[in-house]
C-alpha cells in the first residue's frame, strides 16, 4: 500500500525554506459564487452611491464620508467578520478582504474611513472585549450606528508606539481611570463615537487600552488636518484632559494594550495591502481608456511600445499583488479554522491566525502600497500633462495612495519587521532557518549541478528559479546573521536589502503558483496572459534579488568570501532561457488595450 503523507500546512514565513505547490495556495478565482456576489454588490454600491459624487471627497466633505459609511453599514459591509450573535455576518477572513478590496478603490478617503472603522476601530472590541463590552458596542459598530476610531499615535510616539506619554490614573474611589494626554492623526475622529485609546498606567512597561465614548467629559478635538491626499478622511487630534472613564471600559488586560495595538496592526497591514488593489485596477482602467482615446502623431498613444510597456507592468504588478494578498488571506483563514478546531475560542483563533502570518502581513503591506504607488505614478505619466490636472482622475489617485506607504507602520518599519520576525522565529526554534542556510553555504563550495529540469513542462524553469531566489536570501541573510549576530539589528541597510528580496520572492512565487493553478484548471492556452504576467514579474524579481543581494554582499563580505557569494548569487539569479520581455509586455498590453480596462 502506498504511503500517503498528509502535507503539513505552510506556516508563516515558511515559504522561504520550502517548496510550495500550486494546489496548496488559494487564488482569487477560487472564491465561491456567494463571495463573488458580495464583491459585485460592493462594487455596485460604489458605482451607484459614490462614483457619481466622488468630487465631494476632494472638497473635504467629511459628512459625505460619514454618509457613505452609514450606507455601507446598511448594506452589511461593516460587519463582515463580526459574529452573527453581535449583528454581523460572521463571514471568513478572506471575504472581509474581498469586500475591503472593492470598497477601497474609488477614494483613499473612504478607504481610510472604512479601514479605520472595521479594522482598528472594531477589531480590538471584537477580539479583546468582555462579553459586556461586545454586547454594548459590536452591534452598533457592525451596523454603522457607532463609528470607531483608534487613538495610538502621539506627537512623540509614532513608529515607537509604546513610548506614548498618555497616562491613565486610577481615581481614589477605584471606579474610574483618569486619562490625560494628546493623540494625533486620529482617523475618523470627526465623526467617530467610540475611541480605543492607549494610555500607560503608572510606570507600566506597556500601554493599556480603554474604550472611550465620544462626549466623555475631558475629551476634546483639534481642527481637521489638511493633508496631501485622502482629503475627506477626517483626521484630528484628540485631547484628554482629566477624561474620566469607568474601569469596566478597560479593554483587555492592564499592560495588554501594546499587544492589542500590534495585533490590530497585523490585521491592518494585510487589509491595507488589499485596499490598494482596486485603486490600482481603476487607475489602469482609466489609463488604458485614455491611451486608447488620446491621439498623437495620428494614432492612439496605446499603439506605442513605450505606453504598452507601462500598461503591461502596471497590470502585471497589480495582478501579482492580488495573487499574493489573497493567498495569504486564505492561509490566515485556514489557520483560524485549524486553531478553532483545536479548541481555541473564535476571538483567540482570529488573533493567533493572523499573528502566525505576521511576516506575510508585513511583506504584503509594503508590496500592496508600493504597487499602488507605482501604478498611480505611471497612470499620471500615461495621461501626460492632463494627468497633472486635478480635473483628471489620476491626480487624486496619486495623492491618495501616498499615505499607504506611511500608515499601518511605515514601509521601512514593515521591511525591518518582516526580517526581524523571521530571525526571531529561527531564534525561538519555531522555524529551522539555519540548516537550509548552511546547506546553501555548502552548495557554494560545490561544483554546480548541471541537471536541468524538463523545460517543456509549464513553469519547470520558473519554479527552479524561485528555489534559487530563496537560496539567495538564505545565503545573504545567513551570512549576515553569522557576521553580525545580535548586532545585525543595527545594520538596517542590510535588513532592508534582505526584506526587498523576501518581498519580491513571495510576490513572484504567488504569481507563478496562481498561473500554474489556473493552467491546470483551464488549460495553458486559456490563461496565456496570466502565464505571461507571472513570467514577467518573475524576471523583475530576479533582477531585484540580484541587485539587493549584491548590495548586501558588498556591504559586509570581503575577499574570497565576497567573491564566492557573488558567484553564488549570479548563479542563483540567472535564467537558463531568458524571456523576450518586449514580447511578453506587448502581449499583456494587447489584452489590456483590447478590453479597454483592467482585464483580470
Task: Enumerate binding residues for another protein (CB under 8 A).
Answer: 33-34, 37-38, 41, 44-45, 48, 74-77, 79-80, 89, 91, 99, 594-595
Among candidate residues 545, 541, 565, the one with its CA nearest the CA of residue 553:
565
Shortest Cβ distance from residue 599 to another protein (Å)? 9
Among candidate residues 26, 9, 11, the one with its CA nearest the CA of residue 513:
26
Residue 321: which residues within 8 A CB-CB, separation 6 or more? Answer: 273, 276, 277, 280, 364, 367, 368, 371, 507
Shortest Cβ distance from residue 49 to another protein (Å)? 8
Nearer to another protein, 50 or 207 (CB): 50
Spot the catalytic one: 333, 408, 462, 530: 408
408 catalytically annotated: yes
Task: State whether residue 63 is helix, strand or coil.
Answer: helix
Shortest Cβ distance from residue 192 to another protein (Å)? 22
Q: What is the 3-state secondary structure (H, E, C) of 169-212?
A: EECCCCCEEEEEEEEEEEECCCCCCEEEEEEEECCCCCCEEEEE
Shortest Cβ distance from residue 516 to another protein (Å)? 20
Alpha carbon dihedral 138, 275, 198, 363, in 10-degree steps, equals: 130
Parallel/antiparallel/unpaired status of strands 250-251 and 208-213 = antiparallel
Nearer to another protein, 38 or 151 (CB): 38
Nearer to another protein, 21 or 145 (CB): 145
Nearer to another protein, 15 or 286 (CB): 286
Helices (H) and strands (E) in the chain, counts: 20, 10
Question: Radius of gyration (Cα) for the chain, nearest Å?
Answer: 25
End-to-end CA distance of the chain: 44
Shortest Cβ distance from residue 78 to another protein (Å)? 9
Shortest Cβ distance from residue 591 to another protein (Å)? 11
| 431-436: long-range pairs with CB below 8 Å, 24+ | 431/11, 431/13, 431/14, 431/17, 432/17, 433/16, 433/17, 433/474, 433/477, 433/478, 434/478, 436/17, 436/474
Looking up cell 490614573, which residue turns up? 169
Give the DSSP letter string of 327-385: HHHHHHHHHHHHHHHTT--HHHHHHHHHHHTHHHHHHHHHHHHHHHHHHHHHHHHHHGG
Shortest Cβ distance from residue 206 to another protein (Å)? 36
Q: What does residue 150 show for φ and ψ, rounded to 5 degrees?
A: -140, 120
Nearer to another protein, 71 or 586 (CB): 71
Nearer to another protein, 33 or 223 (CB): 33
Q: What is the 3-state secondary structure (H, E, C) of 125-186?
A: HHHHCCHHHHHHHHHHHHHCCCCEEEECCECCECCCHHHCCCEEEECCCCCEEEEEEEEEEE
Residue 100: which residues within 8 A CB-CB, separation 6 or more? Answer: 114, 115, 118, 271, 274, 275
Nearer to another protein, 44 or 543 (CB): 44
Shortest Cβ distance from residue 122 to another protein (Å)? 15
Burial label for 59, CB within 10 Å (0-12, 13-18, 19+), is: exposed
Task: State whether residue 235 is helix, strand or coil.
Answer: strand
Nearer to another protein, 76 or 568 (CB): 76
Shortest Cβ distance from residue 270 to another protein (Å)? 21
Nearer to another protein, 49 or 467 (CB): 49
Q: Cell numbers of 377, please?
A: 505614478
Q: Which residues are identified as catalytic?
A: 408
Amino acid at each position: 500500500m502506498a504511503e500517503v503523507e498528509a502535507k503539513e500546512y505552510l506556516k508563516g514565513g515558511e515559504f522561504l525554506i520550502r517548496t510550495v505547490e500550486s494546489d496548496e495556495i488559494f487564488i482569487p478565482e477560487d472564491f465561491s459564487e456567494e463571495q463573488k456576489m458580495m464583491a459585485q454588490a460592493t462594487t455596485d454600491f460604489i458605482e451607484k452611491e459614490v462614483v457619481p459624487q466622488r468630487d465631494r471627497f476632494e472638497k473635504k466633505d467629511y459628512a459625505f464620508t460619514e454618509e457613505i459609511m452609514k450606507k455601507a453599514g446598511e448594506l452589511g459591509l461593516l460587519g463582515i467578520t463580526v459574529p452573527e450573535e453581535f449583528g454581523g455576518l460572521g463571514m471568513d477572513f478572506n471575504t472581509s478582504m474581498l469586500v475591503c478590496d472593492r470598497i477601497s478603490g474609488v477614494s483613499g478617503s473612504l478607504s481610510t474611513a472604512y479601514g479605520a472603522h472595521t479594522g482598528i476601530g472594531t477589531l480590538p472590541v471584537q477580539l479583546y472585549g468582555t462579553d459586556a463590552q461586545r454586547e454594548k458596542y459590536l452591534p452598533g459598530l457592525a451596523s454603522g450606528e457607532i463609528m470607531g476610531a483608534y487613538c495610538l499615535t502621539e506627537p512623540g510616539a509614532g513608529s515607537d508606539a509604546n513610548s506614548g506619554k498618555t497616562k491613565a490614573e486610577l481615581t481614589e474611589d477605584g471606579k474610574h481611570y483618569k486619562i490625560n494626554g494628546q493623540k494625533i492623526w486620529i482617523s475618523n475622529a470627526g465623526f467617530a463615537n467610540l475611541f480605543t485609546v492607549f494610555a500607560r498606567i503608572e510606570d507600566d512597561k506597556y500601554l493599556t487600552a480603554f474604550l472611550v465614548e465620544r462626549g466623555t467629559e475631558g475629551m476634546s478635538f483639534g481642527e481637521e488636518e489638511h493633508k496631501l491626499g485622502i482629503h475627506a478622511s477626517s483626521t484630528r487630534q484628540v485631547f484628554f484632559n482629566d477624561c474620566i472613564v469607568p474601569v469596566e471600559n478597560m479593554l483587555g488586560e492592564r499592560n495588554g494594550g501594546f499587544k492589542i495595538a500590534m495585533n490590530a496592526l497585523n490585521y491592518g497591514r494585510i487589509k491595507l495591502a488589499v485596499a490598494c488593489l482596486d485603486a490600482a485596477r481603476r487607475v489602469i482602467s482609466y489609463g488604458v481608456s485614455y491611451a486608447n482615446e488620446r491621439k498623437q502623431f495620428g494614432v492612439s498613444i496605446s499603439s506605442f511600445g513605450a505606453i504598452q510597456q507601462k500598461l503591461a507592468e502596471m497590470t502585471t504588478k497589480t495582478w501579482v499583488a492580488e495573487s499574493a494578498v489573497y493567498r495569504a488571506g486564505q492561509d490566515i483563514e485556514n489557520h483560524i479554522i485549524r486553531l478553532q478546531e483545536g479548541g481555541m475560542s473564535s476571538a483567540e483563533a482570529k488573533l493567533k491566525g493572523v499573528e502566525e502570518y505576521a511576516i506575510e502581513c508585513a511583506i504584503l503591506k509594503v508590496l500592496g502600497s508600493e504597487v499602488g504607488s507605482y501604478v498611480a505614478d505611471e497612470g499620471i505619466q500615461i495621461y501626460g500633462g492632463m494627468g497633472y490636472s486635478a480635473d483628471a482622475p489620476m491626480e487624486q489617485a496619486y495623492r491618495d495612495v501616498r499615505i499607504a506607504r506611511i500608515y499601518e507602520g511605515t514601509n521601512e518599519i514593515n521591511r525591518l519587521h518582516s526580517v526581524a520576525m523571521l530571525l526571531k522565529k529561527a531564534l525561538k526554534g519555531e522555524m529551522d532557518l539555519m540548516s537550509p542556510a548552511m546547506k546553501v553555504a555548502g552548495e557554494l563550495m560545490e561544483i554546480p549541478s548541471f541537471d536541468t529540469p524538463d523545460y517543456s513542462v509549464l513553469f519547470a524553469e520558473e519554479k527552479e528559479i524561485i528555489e534559487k531566489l530563496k537560496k539567495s536570501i538564505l545565503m545573504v541573510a545567513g551570512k549576515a546573521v553569522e557576521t553580525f549576530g545580535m548586532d545585525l539589528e543595527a545594520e538596517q541597510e542590510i535588513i532592508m536589502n534582505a526584506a526587498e528580496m523576501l518581498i519580491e520572492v513571495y510576490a513572484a512565487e504567488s504569481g507563478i503558483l496562481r498561473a500554474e493553478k489556473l493552467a491546470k484548471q483551464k488549460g495553458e492556452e486559456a490563461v496565456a496572459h496570466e502565464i505571461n504576467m507571472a513570467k514577467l514579474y518573475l524576471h523583475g524579481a530576479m533582477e531585484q534579488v540580484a541587485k539587493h543581494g549584491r548590495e548586501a554582499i558588498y556591504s559586509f563580505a570581503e575577499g574570497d568570501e565576497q567573491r564566492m557569494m557573488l558567484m553564488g548569487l549570479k548563479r542563483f539569479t540567472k535564467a537558463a532561457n531568458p524571456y523576450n520581455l518586449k514580447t511578453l509586455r506587448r502581449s499583456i498590453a494587447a489584452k489590456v488595450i483590447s478590453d479597454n480596462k483592467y482585464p483580470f
